Amino acid sequence: MRNFKNLLLVALLFVSATILGQTKITGTVVDDTNQPLPGASIVVKGTANGTSTDFDGKFTLTAKTNSGVMIVSFIGYKTREFVFSASKSNFKSIKLEEDSGSLDEIIVTATSFAIDRKTPVAVSTIKAADIELKLGTQEFPEVLKSTPGVYATKSGGGYGDGRINLRGFNSENVAVMINGVPVNDMENGRVFWSNWAGLGDVTSAMQVQRGLGASKVAVPSIGGTINILTKTSDVEEGGNLGYSLANDGYSKFGLTYSTGMMDNGIAVSVSASSTEGRGYVDGTSFKGFNYFVNITKQFNEAHKLSLTAFGAKQQHGQRQNRHLISTFRASESGRKYNSDWGYKNGQETNSEDNFYHKPQVSLNHYWNVSDKTLVSTAAYVSFGTGGGGGFSGVNKFNFDNDDYRIGSLGTIDFDKIVDENEALGTSGSESILRASRNDHIWYGVLSTLKTDVTEELTFLTGVDVRGYKGIHFTEVTDLLGGQYYLDNSNKNNPNNQTKVGDKIFYDNDGKVGWFGGFAQLEYSKDDLSGFISANVSNTSYQRVDRFNYLDSDPGQTSEKFNFIGFGTKGGVNYNLDDNHGIFANLGYFERAPYFNAIFTSRSSNTDTNEDAPNQKITSYELGYTFRAEKFTANLNLYRTLWKDRTETASFQQPDGTRATANVLGVNAIHQGVEVDFVYKATDKLKITGMASLGDWRWDSNVENVKIFNEDNVEVDEVDLFIKDLHVGDAAQTTLALGLNYKLTSETTFTVDANYFADLYADFDPSDRGTAGAPDAWKVPSFTLFDTALRHKFKFGDFDASVIARVNNVFDTSYISDAQDRGASTAAEAQVYYGAGRTFSVGAKINF
């Protein structure tokens, strides 16, 4: 018994010594603007004991001694050391200063990070300060235009109408996430940037993962992933007040304030701004208001809640219709010409416009189960209301119809149309304005568990559950002087004399369900790291039609169709030495076809294609990285094979009815090489550059495409001859060169040059039905220069700054978007011209 007591006493002393010899160190790492630095490294000096900060810059590290030195580092910032002890272990806010002699850290997603020289993916990141410097009057995606593989334009030129292609894939095939939450439309995969106008005000970083990426959710993307990280509640109290003005009546006023982390563990950040202007393109006046709120509550070391709500309510005129080059040249407005607007009773009126409001609210819970295990859960919901305007009835709005134009190629004479409708009296309007509404209700839960199995091995798993209802209808917005508009589309209410706000043409819901899960295993030891992951998902589609089916008809609600998707990917990175590294990744996944591939007719719940095949994607990539004190470079080679692309075609028959086809076997190959570098020539001068050389082509012809009429009866059969034709709609060759020079410690001057070539006009593969069909028209190459100047100064006791920016400095005339109409010539292509020289000047006061 005595021996047992002695042994127990020794054990207790050993445990006590172990416990007393440990110190739990906590803190938050931020930059000089008080923004958190996720992925910063914290190591106990002289040991391998370390950790990294989470999304909010927070860390917890258990040291095995009562005292010592902690090293805090982040690539691109100066390393700092701190002495810790049992009485000094909570460091609250640790601020790091930028180091002009080191490299930039690569941030990846809201819930995970691709560490430089560790994660085997091709990534590019632009942070808040650079977004503020580069954005100006550009569309939000355009700040990525110097990124390899990216082609971004303003499209028609309206507020928020920008678009982006990544490695030749449009937004339907690029996963876009905000704080790790997917935002691609669940019916068609598209992203409408007007829904997020003003997002640049609250973005802390925008990051691009090209190719497979390292996103740890079951989101199948072909071209890559764009992840936008919004700001969280700041660690310290403060805010700013800003005002900007720009060309064509642009003005913007914004206010941001953060309480900082208060004694009760709550931090609140709010931001709001209003924007308005006439628009660079004629008839594209706009008004927008965007807002952002974040409330964070730190309950204890284990639990934290963060509530984020943001949105952007906007309305703007659009240039919806492309025109021939000859039309732009003949118009008085030149490249600003827009045929989709005019004046009604002296007020600017649009035959094509856009209005939308899509607030998104998410509640994030972070649970530190232990030092090794973390569970992160986000529950979110969004409510979208709005749509795009247009006209219905007799078409009096064609740009070449001089009877309803004020002068040749002039504005629409709305007053004449109003007079004619008024004269019709009880016969109703023959021409009206309407809006195609696309309201929606979207909710979801995304939860991820991460646990360290060993020091070298980490396991992650998660679920992604979503529900979506898209509410689609057309409503009357302006009777243009008439008493009503007669519509016979609704079987439940035939011969409906509709008024403003009434529904016409169609009224249906698209219901989409999604359940996905993933698992990933990560390995890292010394110079070798890698991962392997797998995901599976079920997508369900259902349609409700309130116009083409009586309310008493059970067929008003369709069957529910389910499609299983799955994928697997993996990669490995090996650092040859302190300067050189190589990586490789590969993957295969199958993605469910989109909603319109299942329900091929807008007027039928039974004309379905429930056997539509999954899209099949195989992708692999090789990469090389070089890191030195003043020079860093990346080289990537990629190849993506896309099989059974969802392709639907519509044909007009001789009797005026429509026929449709689901085209199977449309395959494409996207391959290329990308190079980018940063050279810090001196403490004041930084030079950046990139070259992206793509070869994107359709892979094979398609035979025996069956065409069906509205009664689902086969009426024709055609072949498509598309093999080796170039994929259009994005420049396959892009080059960029940038200079960033510090004139003084407070003044920075930048110049960026971007070259775009091998831009083939967009075309529908279904239009190439003849052997020997020509390639699409190739748009002339062009180069754009942008410049900006930022100066920081003191305004009384406050820090302030002024940013002046000029885009397209030399006022280059260029075609940014083109649609090939089969002739493959400049004379027949319909185009949008890009914006000419624009400027912006903004001032901000920090308090």
Most confident region among 98-102, 263-267, 384-388, 455-459 by mean pLDDT? 384-388
597-614 mean pLDDT: 83
Residue 3 has pLDDT above 60, yes or no: no
Between residues 105 and 287, the one the model is more confident about: 287
Q: How confident is the model at residue 300 (pLDDT cuts 50, 70, 90)?
A: confident
Token output for 307? 């509530």
Q: In DSSP terms, which residues pair with 740 in a beta bridge?
A: 686, 750
CA 601, chain centre distance (Å): 29
The per-residue pLDDT for 517 is 93
Residue 390 DSSP symbol: E
The per-residue pLDDT for 783 is 98
Phi, psi of 340 (to 5 degrees): -105, 40
The per-residue pLDDT for 18 is 42
Token output for 237? 């109290």
Task: Give the residue carrying structure tokens 């030399």.
Answer: 810
What's the CA gap between 80 and 72, in Å, rounded? 5
pTM: 0.86
What's the CA gap between 55 and 107, in Å, rounded? 10
What's the CA gap between 509 and 498, in Å, rounded? 21
The per-residue pLDDT for 216 is 60
- pLDDT tens sequence across 54-85: 756 788 888 878 888 998 877 556 778 899 98
Do 209 and 166 touch, CB atoms closer than 8 A?
no
Token output for 124? 């590019």
Residue 114 has pLDDT above 60, yes or no: no
- pLDDT tens sequence across 470-483: 999 999 999 999 99
The per-residue pLDDT for 215 is 62
Residue 14, classed as helix, strand or coil, is helix
- pLDDT tens sequence across 634-664: 999 999 999 887 666 666 666 666 666 666 6
Between residues 812 and 578, the one the model is more confident about: 812
Q: Which amino acid, 825?
A: T
Alpha helix (H) residue ranges in 574-690: 595-598
Parallel, antiparallel, or unpaired for β 90-95 and 23-30? parallel
- pLDDT tens sequence across 588-598: 999 898 898 88
User: What is the widest separation between alpha-carbon atoms in the chain?
Assistant: 113
* Averaged confidence pLDDT in the chain: 87
Q: Where are the beta strands (DSSP E) in 131-202?
A: 150-153, 163-166, 174-178, 181-182
Between residues 434 and 137, the one the model is more confident about: 434
Residue 111 has pLDDT above 70, yes or no: no
What's the CA gap between 807 and 804, in Å, rounded? 10
The per-residue pLDDT for 33 is 60
Token output for 630? 């003043």
Q: Strand order of the sheet with strand 323-324? A: 323-324, 830-833, 815-819
- pLDDT tens sequence across 701-746: 888 777 766 666 777 777 888 899 999 999 999 999 999 999 998 9
Residue 458 has pLDDT above 70, yes or no: yes
The per-residue pLDDT for 101 is 32
Percent helix, strand, coil in the chain, to 5, is 10, 55, 35
Do 334 and 369 touch, CB atoms closer than 8 A?
no
The per-residue pLDDT for 700 is 87
What's the CA gap between 733 and 757, in Å, rounded? 5
The per-residue pLDDT for 15 is 43
Q: Which helix (H) or strand (E) holds 393?
A: strand 373-393
Residue 337 DSSP symbol: -
The per-residue pLDDT for 325 is 97
The per-residue pLDDT for 103 is 29
What's the CA gap between 792 and 788, in Å, rounded? 13
Q: How confident is the model at residue 37 (pLDDT cuts 50, 70, 90)?
A: confident
* Of 253-267, 493-507, 724-738, the least confident: 253-267
Residue 776, classed as helix, strand or coil, is coil
- pLDDT tens sequence across 748-772: 999 999 999 999 999 877 778 788 8
How many residues in the chain? 847
Token output for 341? 């607007």
Do 67 and 86 touch, CB atoms closer than 8 A?
yes
Residue 109 has pLDDT above 60, yes or no: no
Nearest by Cα to 354 from 440, 248, 253, 438: 438
Token output for 309? 């709500």
Phi, psi of 110 (to 5 degrees): -70, -20
Q: Which amino acid, 634?
A: N
* Of 29-43, 509-523, 534-548, the least confident: 29-43
Nearest by Cα to 68 from 48, 46, 90, 52: 46
**Domains in the chain, ordered, with CATH?**
2-95 (2.60.40.10), 122-228 (2.170.130.10), 229-846 (2.40.170.20)
Nearest by Cα to 202 from 164, 151, 240: 240
Q: Where are the beta strands (DSSP E) in 40-188?
A: 41-44, 50-52, 58-63, 67-73, 80-85, 90-95, 122-127, 150-153, 163-166, 174-178, 181-182
What's the CA gap between 307 and 576, in Å, rounded? 43
For residue 558, how many other CB atoms are within 10 A of its CB? 20
* Of 29-38, 151-160, 503-512, 713-722, the least confident: 29-38
Phi, psi of 261 (to 5 degrees): -75, 115
Task: Give the dihedral sign, CA 696/700/703/705.
Answer: negative
Between residues 786 and 103, the one the model is more confident about: 786
Residue 54 DSSP symbol: -
22-49 mean pLDDT: 77
Measuring CA to CA, how many Å separate 351 from each of 354, 475, 722, 832? 10, 14, 36, 18
Do 469 and 446 touch, CB atoms closer than 8 A?
no
Residue 104 has pLDDT above 50, yes or no: no
